[in-house]
């Protein structure tokens, strides 16, 4: 890359790091998605040097349970209640080994260990006798690292696809300013690592189109895919998408393209299969009470139900976390929906002016999203229990780099079709920046007013 590109990459990476540090500082303890379970896994590795026990047993350490009892339970599903003062949390004696003893058994126990190992490394930055809140803050730096890495990969993806530093910066800004991403990049949650790994895969695939960098790009693809398989089981759903994208980039009519794609993806597939076999009994025990529901009823009430569709793939995708009362005001979702509609209109009315590879990319991205939705719904149908509904809109966020490409292409096509004086994708980036400010304001109002 040129010196200019390196400078832009350093700047956008610094923005991602400081954005993550702000989130890590102001999000109250254990108010992020599933943070108690993820932190307990981190604590298990950091304190005991063992993976979680894959059998039902008491959840969480004593101090984790005490923190949840004091800071989470009083306001869960109670949006009218402010956050209790920190003085309400009286931790067990941290010098007592039993206070932090944990088996690690939780809904996250069946996850691969890569993210939690980085969390344990960050956890070790604090003193062993440091208060729980200090150790939690330290563990959040693992997600800050992964979020910064994801932003760097998004810049490389934009540079490889658009061949323009300006558009690469735009794509990286969209990734780091996406409100839900902004949260996940600052709290203890493996989705930050999952997004980084898939973004790295797509960046490598974009660079596979150029013969001078193909070898290094395939090595990066192999490394990111293998890391993704060791981060979260749902990465397996991304492998067919990654394979298809790689084949399209290398040329599906070439025999060598199939061999190169297989060589890059097979290690990740083997790792995913091996880990699934290792945790099969724990997963079976976790979802041993399946709620029988006819397929027709499931499709009608769970898949094609209008309000649920909107909640899952609009509100939960863009920003919904904590205890379901930390969403944005409805007007912001309408603005985001308007941009999605404008991008779709741009693809329809500007289709003839798109380059051939842009058309193929649009079809591939839409098809990949539909495939992911079908796979997620199928998974949910087989693990529905009386206690939970599986799906959340953020499960599509590993595809956000592709969605950002789709939005940039569609909005730009509409701008050109209308002869607009401004480039619409940059207007969208500015809008996300405003929504980011609104997100922080909503967070501060929800918890500290």
Query: What distance in Å separates the CA atoms of residue 324 and residue 345, rounded to the nearest whole number?
Result: 32
Q: Is 387 exposed, middle or buried (0-12, 13-18, 19+ CB in 10 A)?
A: exposed
User: In this model, does residue 392 exceed pLDDT 80?
Assistant: yes
Kindly report the backbone phi and psi dihedral angles of residue 385, in degrees, each rounded to the nearest multiple of 5, phi listed first: -125, 165
Report how many domains make up the chain: 1
User: In this model, does residue 129 exceed pLDDT 90?
Assistant: no
Provide the residue range defining the domain that includes 51.
Answer: 3-9+30-448
pTM: 0.94
Query: What distance in Å separates the CA atoms of residue 35 and residue 41, rounded to the nearest whole number?
Result: 10
Structure confidence by residue, pLDDT tens digits, 196-253: 999 999 999 999 988 778 889 999 999 999 999 999 999 999 999 999 999 999 988 8
SS (H, E, C) 207-265: HCCCHHHHHHHHHHHHHHHHHHHCCCHHHHHHHHHHHHHHHHHHCCCCHHHHHHHHHHH
pLDDT value of residue 105 = 83
pLDDT value of residue 372 = 96
Q: Is residue 25 part of a domain?
A: no
Query: What distance in Å separates the CA atoms of residue 80 and residue 185, rounded to the nearest whole number?
Result: 27
Q: Is residue 16 part of a domain?
A: no
Chain-centre distance of CA 49, in angstroms? Answer: 26
pLDDT value of residue 385 = 58
| Two tokens, residue 22 | 């702000």
Q: Is residue 256 part of a domain?
A: yes
Q: Is residue 17 part of a domain?
A: no
Q: Is residue 92 part of a domain?
A: yes
pLDDT value of residue 94 = 72
Give the list of residues 6+ apart from residue 109 with CB closer than 8 angstroms, or none.
41, 52, 53, 54, 279, 282
Q: Is residue 417 part of a domain?
A: yes
Q: Is residue 331 part of a domain?
A: yes
Query: What distance in Å separates the CA atoms of residue 262 and residue 78, rounded to the nearest whole number?
Result: 50
pLDDT value of residue 212 = 79
Q: Is residue 226 part of a domain?
A: yes
pLDDT value of residue 384 = 67
Structure confidence by residue, pLDDT tens digits, 11-33: 999 999 999 999 999 999 998 88
In 10 A of CB 275, how many CB atoms?
18
């Amino acid at each position: 890359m040129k010196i200019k590109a390196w400078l832009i990459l350093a700047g956008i990476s610094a923005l991602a790091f400081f954005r993550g540090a702000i989130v890590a500082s102001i999000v109250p303890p254990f108010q992020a998605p599933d943070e108690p379970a993820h932190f307990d896994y981190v604590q298990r590795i950091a304190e005991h040097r063992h993976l979680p026990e894959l059998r039902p047993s008491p959840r969480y350490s004593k101090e984790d349970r005490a923190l949840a009892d004091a800071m989470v339970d009083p306001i869960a599903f109670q949006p009218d209640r402010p956050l209790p003062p920190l003085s309400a949390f009286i931790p067990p004696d941290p010098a007592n080994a039993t206070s932090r003893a944990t088996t690690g058994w939780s809904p996250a126990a069946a996850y691969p260990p890569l993210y939690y190992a980085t969390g344990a490394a960050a956890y070790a930055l604090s003193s062993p006798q440091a208060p729980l809140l200090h150790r939690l803050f330290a563990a959040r730096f693992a997600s800050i690292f992964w979020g910064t890495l994801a932003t760097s990969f998004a810049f490389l993806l934009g540079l490889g696809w658009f061949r323009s530093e300006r558009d690469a910066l735009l794509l990286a800004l969209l990734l780091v300013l996406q409100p839900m991403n902004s949260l996940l990049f600052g709290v203890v949650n493996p989705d930050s690592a999952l997004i980084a790994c898939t973004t790295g895969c797509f960046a490598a695939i974009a660079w596979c189109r150029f013969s001078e960098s193909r070898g290094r790009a395939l090595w990066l693809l192999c490394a990111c895919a293998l890391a993704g398989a060791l981060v979260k089981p749902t990465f397996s759903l991304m492998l067919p998408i990654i394979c298809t994208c790689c084949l399209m980039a290398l040329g599906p009519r070439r025999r060598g393209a199939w061999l190169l794609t297989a060589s890059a993806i097979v290690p990740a597939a083997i790792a995913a299969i091996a880990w699934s076999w290792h945790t099969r009994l724990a997963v079976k025990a976790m979802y041993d009470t399946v709620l029988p529901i006819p397929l027709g009823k499931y499709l009608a009430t769970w898949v094609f139900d209008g309000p649920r569709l909107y909640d899952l793939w609009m509100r939960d995708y863009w920003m919904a976390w904590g205890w379901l009362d930390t969403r944005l005001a409805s007007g912001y979702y309408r603005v985001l929906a308007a941009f999605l509609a404008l991008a779709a209109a741009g693809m329809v009315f500007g289709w003839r002016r798109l380059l051939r590879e842009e058309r193929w990319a649009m079809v591939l991205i839409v098809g990949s999203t539909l495939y992911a939705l079908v796979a997620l719904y199928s998974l949910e149908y087989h693990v529905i229990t009386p206690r939970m509904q599986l799906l959340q809109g953020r499960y599509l966020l590993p595809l956000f780099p592709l969605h950002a490409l789709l939005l940039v292409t569609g909005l730009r096509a509409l701008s050109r079709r209308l002869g607009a004086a401004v480039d619409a994708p940059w207007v969208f980036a500015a809008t996300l920046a405003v929504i980011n400010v609104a997100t922080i304001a909503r967070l501060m109002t929800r918890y500290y007013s």
